[in-house]
Structures are given as C-alpha cells and as structure tokens.
Amino acid sequence: MTDETNKTDEFARKKLTEWVNEPTLLDLKSELTEAYPDHQHYTLKIDAWLDNLNVTGAAKPKKIKGHSSIQPKLIRKQSEWRCAALVEPFLSTEDLFNLEPVAAGDKKSAIQNSLIINNQFNTKINKTKFIDDYIHAAVNEGTFIARVGWDYADEEVETEIPVFELFPVEDPQAMQQEQELHALMFESPDDYNQLPEDIRQAHDVFMQTGIPHVANQAGTRIETETKVLVNKPTVVVCDYKDVIIDPTAKGDPDKAEFIIYRFETSKSELEKSGIEYVNLNNIITETASPLSTADTDVSPQPSFSFKDEPRKKLEAYEYWGYYDIHGTGSTVPIVVTWVGETLIRMEENPFPDQKLPFVIRQYLPVKNSLYGEPDGALLEEHQKITGAVTRGMIDIMGRSANGQIGMRIDALDVTNKRRFENGKDYEFNPTVDPRTAIINHTYPEIPQSAQFMLNMQNAEAEALTGVKAFSQGITGTSLGSTATGIRSALDATAKRDLILLRRIADGIIQIGRKIISMNAEFLSEVEIVRITNSEFVEIRRDDLAGNFDIKLSISTAEADNEKAQELSFMLQTVGPNTDPEMTYMIMADIARLRKMPELAKKLDNYQPTPDPLQQKKAELEIALLEAQVFNEQAKGQENSVDVGLKEAKTVTEQAKARQLGSTADMQDLDFLRKESGQDQEQEIEKKEYDRQAALDLKAADKMLAEDTAETSAI
C-alpha cells in the first residue's frame, strides 16, 4: 500500500464534526450505489425520449445506399408549439408571485415578501432563462428537477469614516429642531436614516443628555468593514443525469430520505463558493476527474482540460438527506459533500425550512414514480410511421430519372441528333414515330394513400397532445370551418394547457416558498426594492416573517381573452350612466387581461379632471336647491307662527261666543221674569223688607231712648 493511499484512508477516517454517529464516506457511497440502478433505469428512458425528439442515436434511421434516411421531427414540432404556449403565461406578467396573508396580522409581511421575491426574479435571477429551461425540461424529458440555493460573497474593504466633535448649544430653535428630528425618527425612519451623519450623531447625544449639540468634523479614521458583493437566491434546472433520488419515495419527493447531486467544480470554485469546505488540499485530482468516473450516464466531456491544479475539473457529490447523527433514533437533515475519496463538507442542513433543497415535478404523472413522461412518449410510434411514409415518398421521386430523355438508336442520324441536342430544327427517320421514339422522363405520381397516412398521423398526434401544430400550414381553416367548432377546439386546448400549467405552477410555488424562507434568514438587514422608475421602498428582514398563501399571476391567453370579453360585455351592460369609478375599475381589469400593465395602473390611479362649465353648473344647481330648501323652511316657520295666532284668535272667538251666549241667556231670563210677574213680586218683597226694616229701626231707637232716660233718672 502506497503512502498516498494511506494518506487518503487517514483523511477518510478522520471525523469532521462532533456528532456521535457521523456517517462515513463508505455509508454514503453505498446508498449511492444501491440507488444507482433505479436512477439509470429512468435515465435510459429519458435518453430514448430525447433521441426521438432530436432524431439522434437509435431514433436516427440507418443509411442505406440509394434510399432516403430522412426522419421528420414530429415530436420536436409538437414540443416547440407546446413550450411556447406554456412559457408565455409565466413571462407575460412582471410580478410572477402574488402573496395573500393567512391572518390580518400577516398583511404587511405578505406585501413585503411579494415585493422582495418579485424583485429577485426580475433582477437577481434570469427569469427568462429559468422559465425556458424549466418548461423545456418538463415538456421534453417529462420531469423537472430544480435545485434551490443561496449565493453569498463579500469582501473586506477599508472605509474612511469622518470623526465629529460635539458641542452643546443654547438656542431655543435648536431645541425645536431636535424635537422635530425626534418625531421624524419615529414617524419616518427611512427619511431619518438619509440625513447627514453629523445631524444624526448630534441627535443621538441629545436623546441621551436632553441638551442640543452641534457636530463639527474633526478628522477621519480608517475602518475595515465587510462589503456584501452577492447575496441572492439561486435556482438551477438540474440535468436529470446528475440527480440520484431515493428510490423508496414511491412518487412523492417529500418522502425521499436522500437526494444526491453530482456536479462539476474545481478547487478554485470551491474556495470561492462562500461555503466552508475542508480538506481541499487533500483532493487527488487524478482520481476525482470527471473523465475517470465509472458512471455510464455522465454527459460527454469536452476534449479540452485545464492543466493547472486550481482549475482542473473535479466531480463532486453532494448528499442531502436525513441521518441519525446523534444516535437517538431520530433523523436530522444534513448535507455532506465529497470529491473522489475526500470528504470536504459535513454539516446540518443550513436552509431554514429544513427540507431537501430540490423541487421535483412531473409533466405527465406516472403512478408511484418520481419521474413523469413527456409528449414524446405518446408520439414515438407516430413519428416512426411518419418517417417511414416520408422516406417512401422521397424514394419514389428520388429514384426516378426525372428530366432525362430516352431516344431510339435509329430515330435520328448523327447530324440531326447534333441539331436536336443544340436546340435546332432537325429531321427524323420517317420510319420511326418520334412520339414513341423519344421519351421525356418525369417524377411519378405519389399515391394518395401516402398523403392520407401522413395526415392521419399528424391528426392523431395533435389529438394525443392537444397541440395544434398547423401541419397543413397556418390558416384559419386549420382550426375548423365554423366559429362554434373553432371555439370548441380552443376551449378543449385551453383546458389541456391549464392542467399542465397547474402542475408546472405548483413547482414554481414550491420554489417560491423555499426562497421566501431563505429571505427571512439570509437577506441583509435592509433591502431597497424599486417599485417604479422613481419610487423605491425599503424592506427590513424582520418584517418578512409571517404566514401567507402563494399564488402565481399566470393564465392562458384563451382564458384571459374570455374574461376580457365578459368584462367588456359587462361594461356595455351597465352603460354610460354608471359610477365612473366602477367603469375605470372594469377597464383596468380588461387592460391587465390584455397584458397592458401600464395602462391598468394609469386607470387605477386616474382621477378625471372636471369640466369647469359642468362644475359651475353643478354648483349653481346645488345653490338653487339650497335656496329652495331655505324658502320651504321659512314657509314652514311662517306657518308655525300663523298656527299660534290662529289658535289665539280661536280662543278669543270662543270667549266672545260664550259672552254672547251668556247675554242672550240673561235677556231670556229677564223676559221670563217680567212675563211671569216675578220681578213685580220681588219688588214688592223688597219694599216690604225695607218697610219692615224701617219699622224695626224706629222701634229700636225708641227702646234705646227709653233706656237712656231711665239711666239718667237714676
């Protein structure tokens, strides 16, 4: 055993962590070896589908001398039309993700996350390339596999920072300014942070001491700080050959206990990756080169290779899975990377969702399988039949003597034959009929059955996939002869596209969930996101936590067109007399469906400028109505006063009526008394009473006089 081998075994046995039950390289490679046959079974299937797509390998007809070897790319034709229809819904909208809060308290978090993730897909991730790779992998290979990660890079830079001296200030205006700054700091932190450094430092001292200060620059100092160069999520569409999945998952990627990702790298790339790899100096590049691998499904390697050690290509394996590292019987998500026979990374899963960083989705699902099927699996036989018929048609024409002229030997003599060949008049042998002696060869007629067979195969292919590939040219009659038939065909195609879009969109949503969880952990404290050309918003990492649903702003052109037509009909139904706000709201929705986001935004924010004449007319109408109301109110008050007066008059008239009644009663009573003699009797009684009273008075006086006389005598 050589010293180099002993050194390799020593590093292979050396522990990289403090785990009680650390997995060995042999354990991980054994899982790779056991999962490899199942992985190879599916890769061979996908290889065959891609051969049929590109007419390569076994799908390419063999060369036969004198016969055509052409093979029409029926599967490729269907694929191109399918991919265009599936890519457009994702790229036709600027904001791909739409986040809705689960609870009322998550509304702000949903808005912030929606801004940051849409900005990342528009500026940090090549969205066009990603969607193209995603759709083409799903349509052509039947399975989409994406690896979600995080890219971070920084550097240490020296920065010149000003140094300030602070002096107290006794000025009422300074106190007022500090109070205004204090209010600004709480009401608008973003505006406060944009103030000059000297003002903010002086205000910090004011908050500590309560005394206004002024800051004067006294010099500068050099400080070393970390400058973030790259801090963004990454999404890579993986090659199906480079991802080995746990075969026990049974069609559910979330149940996979491990996924092994194979990738090419170099020592230089590993050192610059931002991940703390170890044992890089112990890698033996000769045994870790992709050219030395024993796997048969590795992509063909270029003949060029770097000679220097840092740039030599290495084949690395990244193990993502669950392992009982603590010996408690409970598995923990881990990641292990090795190159050749050297372990260079072993740690717990660094991603916050604690799941495997892969998203796997199927194009046409297969039960109990992680891998789906492409359209090519349905069209393989039809492409072969189309190729065989086409080659037969070409052979019929290609093997004919088209354009050649055959002539009987005795039809012309030497002189006239020369004149015939030069295009001049000639004389022929009178014993030979030139119509039968000279034969002009032309292409033979192709049987109608051959064209019928081609049309039948194209029609069957379009029926299987639901894609109208316009095999007979792009014309209106390609879809049907009536508007109803065309609408039915488009509706059926739209439904087929929608079910495929839902499967593909589910993968994008899962990618979005992983990126959102990473944003809450790995983003900088503050991120500035551009909303419009002149509007920016500051997003803080602490505001990203929350629960929300993720939806994609996608739809097919047919579905959008149908919705736009319904809204247009609704707009016509409500008429011009409806509320203008409702009209603009419907028009904004129509603009969004017609892929005119700028117009939709203008309609949402549009405030119509009133016509001065109409505005003045409205003001006068309002003034007239107010005057009429005031007049009616005055009349009401006047009527209320008249009611009181009339009530008083009523009381007076009632009193007069009672007085007149009483007078009439007295007159009637006097009349009755006079008529009955009662007055005379009363008069006689009165006189008798007066006489009797006079007599009594005289008698009293007489008696009083007698008593007085008697008293005097005594």
| pLDDT value at 687 more than 70 | yes
Who wins on pLDDT, 343 or 669?
A: 343
Distance from C-alpha of 23 to C-alpha of 28, rounded to nearest angstrom: 7
CB 274 within 8 A of CB 152: yes
CB 335 within 8 A of CB 357: no
Q: What is the pLDDT of residue 371?
A: 93
Place of tokens 């008049």: 425
Instruction: Residue 514: name the closest of 149, 126, 130 by CA.
Output: 149
Which of 471-485, 560-574, 582-596, 654-668 shows the lowest mean pLDDT across its residues? 471-485
Who wins on pLDDT, 93 or 289?
A: 93
Q: Classify strands 243-245 and 332-339 as parallel, antiparallel or unpaired.
A: unpaired
CB 380 within 8 A of CB 87: no
Q: What is the pLDDT of residue 245?
A: 94
Which of 103-112, 130-139, 240-249, 277-286 shows the lowest mean pLDDT across its residues? 103-112
Q: What is the pLDDT of residue 475?
A: 41
Taking only the tens place, the pLDDT of each residue in 98-107 is: 877 766 666 7
| pLDDT value at 592 more than 90 | no
Q: What is the pLDDT of residue 485?
A: 43
Average pLDDT of 601-625?
79
Q: What is the pLDDT of residue 700?
A: 81
Q: What is the pLDDT of residue 421?
A: 85
Average pLDDT of 61-77?
88
Who wins on pLDDT, 52 or 602?
A: 52
Confidence category of residue 193, pLDDT binned at 50, 70, 90: confident
Instruction: Residue 67: name the closest of 486, 396, 302 by CA.
Output: 396
Average pLDDT of 270-278?
85
Q: What percent of the chain has pLDDT over 70?
A: 85
Taking only the tens place, the pLDDT of each residue in 551-575 is: 666 665 666 777 777 778 777 777 7
Confidence category of residue 288, pLDDT binned at 50, 70, 90: low
The amino acid present at 380, given as its one-letter code, is E
Residue 550, strand partner residues: 99
Instruction: Residue 450: name the closest of 395, 495, 401, 398 by CA.
Output: 395
Taking only the tens place, the pLDDT of each residue in 233-264 is: 999 999 999 999 999 988 888 899 999 999 99
Who wins on pLDDT, 580 or 380?
A: 380
Mean per-residue pLDDT over the chain, rounded: 80
Q: What is the pLDDT of residue 144?
A: 92
Q: What is the pLDDT of residue 477?
A: 45
Q: pTM of the full predicted structure? A: 0.69
Give the angle 481-487-488 at the CA atoms, nearest 5°. 95
Who wins on pLDDT, 702 or 373?
A: 373
Average pLDDT of 490-513?
80
Residue count of the chain, please give it: 714
Q: What is the pLDDT of residue 473?
A: 40
Both tokens assigned to 644: 């009181």
| pLDDT value at 56 more than 80 | yes
| pLDDT value at 386 more than 60 | yes
Q: What is the pLDDT of residue 334?
A: 95
Average pLDDT of 148-169?
83
Instruction: Residue 67: name the closest of 384, 399, 386 by CA.
Output: 399
Average pLDDT of 374-395?
91
Distance from C-alpha of 469 to C-alpha of 465, rounded to nearest angstrom: 10
| pLDDT value at 544 more than 70 | no
Taking only the tens place, the pLDDT of each residue in 399-443 is: 887 888 888 888 888 888 888 888 888 888 888 888 888 888 888
Taking only the tens place, the pLDDT of each residue in 3-32 is: 544 544 454 456 788 899 999 999 999 999
Give the angle 259-261-267 at the CA atoms, nearest 5°. 145
Place of tokens 């084949």: 315
Which of 66-75, 148-157, 256-265, 460-469 shows the lowest mean pLDDT across its residues? 460-469
Average pLDDT of 585-607?
75
Distance from C-alpha of 714 to C-alpha of 174, rounded to nearest angstrom: 126
Q: What is the pLDDT of residue 44?
A: 94
Both tokens assigned to 331: 């598995």
Taking only the tens place, the pLDDT of each residue in 633-669 is: 888 777 777 777 777 788 788 888 888 878 887 887 7
Q: What is the pLDDT of residue 476?
A: 43
Q: Is the dihedral of CA 434, 438, 440, 444 positive or negative?
A: positive
Q: Which residues contact 371 (CB under 8 A, 6 or more apart)?
A: 42, 45, 46, 142, 143, 362
Q: What is the pLDDT of residue 190?
A: 66
Q: What's the 3-state SS for 487-524?
A: HHHHHHHHHHHHHHHHHHHHHHHHHHHHHHHHHHHHCC
